[in-house]
């Protein structure tokens, strides 16, 4: 899994994914405390994430294992919105 912050929306009126209502977001990867890495990717949003939210992303083969993406040409999928991260009994991120 990868952590990232939603930076914006990617719009494409033509694609070969055949996912009705598919919404794609621009994600800036980050560490567990929310520090941005300035490494970007586009991910299919399955959880209705919003701008500036920290999200959890599945990539590669794992991204094609959801009911929506089964056997589709999708490389990254948002599978969760992060509310809190606790590392070694210390909260390092909260929404």
Distance CA 56, CA 65 (A): 15
- Strand-strand pairing, 36-45 and 76-81: parallel
What does the pLDDT look like over 31-82, one tens digit per residue?
Answer: 999 999 999 999 999 999 999 999 999 998 888 888 888 888 888 999 999 9
Residue 53 pLDDT: 98
Q: Which domains does the chain have, with CATH numbers?
A: 2-94 (2.40.50.220)
Residue 70 pLDDT: 84
Question: Above 70 in pLDDT, residue 17?
Answer: no
């Amino acid at each position: 899994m990868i952590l990232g912050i939603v930076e914006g929306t990617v719009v494409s009126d033509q694609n070969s994914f055949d996912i009705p209502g598919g919404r794609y977001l621009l994600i800036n990867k980050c560490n567990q405390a929310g520090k941005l890495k300035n490494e970007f990717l586009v991910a299919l949003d399955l959880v209705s994430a919003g701008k500036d939210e920290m999200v959890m992303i599945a990539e590669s083969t794992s991204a094609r294992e959801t009911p929506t993406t089964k056997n589709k040409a999708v490389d990254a999928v948002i599978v969760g919105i992060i509310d809190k991260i606790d590392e070694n009994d210390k909260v390092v991120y909260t929404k």
